[in-house]
């Protein structure tokens, strides 16, 4: 199964942000459950303001139990 181009582009953006030290880990609130989430964000700067672009949150529990590798 091929990774969709949009996801590959977002991953490249994440790699670029990491190489420039422009990543942050933010505590946010899940919009559905209200639970705290620890979100990996790229940090940008636009018109004098910081802009946080969320990419995903850290997995609660054991991630090896949550995902199956490609077959």
Residue bearing tokens 């910081």: 50
User: Within a domain: residue 39?
Assistant: yes
Tokens 């700067």 belong to 45
- What's the predicted TM-score (pTM) here? 0.80
- 3-state secondary structure at position 32: coil
Q: 52 near 43, Cβ under 8 Å?
A: yes
Domain count, the chain: 1
Tell whether 60 is covered by a domain. Answer: no
63 falls within a domain: no
15-53: pLDDT as tens digits: 999 999 999 999 999 999 999 999 999 999 999 999 999
- Report yes or no on 52 lying in a domain: no
Segments forming the whole domain that contains residue 30: 1-44
Residue 40 lies in a domain: yes
């Amino acid at each position: 199964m091929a990774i969709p181009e949009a996801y590959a582009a977002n991953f490249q953006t994440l790699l670029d942000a990491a190489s420039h030290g422009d990543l942050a880990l933010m505590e946010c609130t899940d919009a559905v459950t209200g639970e705290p989430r620890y979100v990996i964000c790229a940090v940008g700067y636009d018109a004098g303001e910081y802009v946080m672009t969320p990419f995903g949150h850290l997995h609660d529990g054991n991630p090896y139990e949550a995902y199956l590798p490609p077959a």
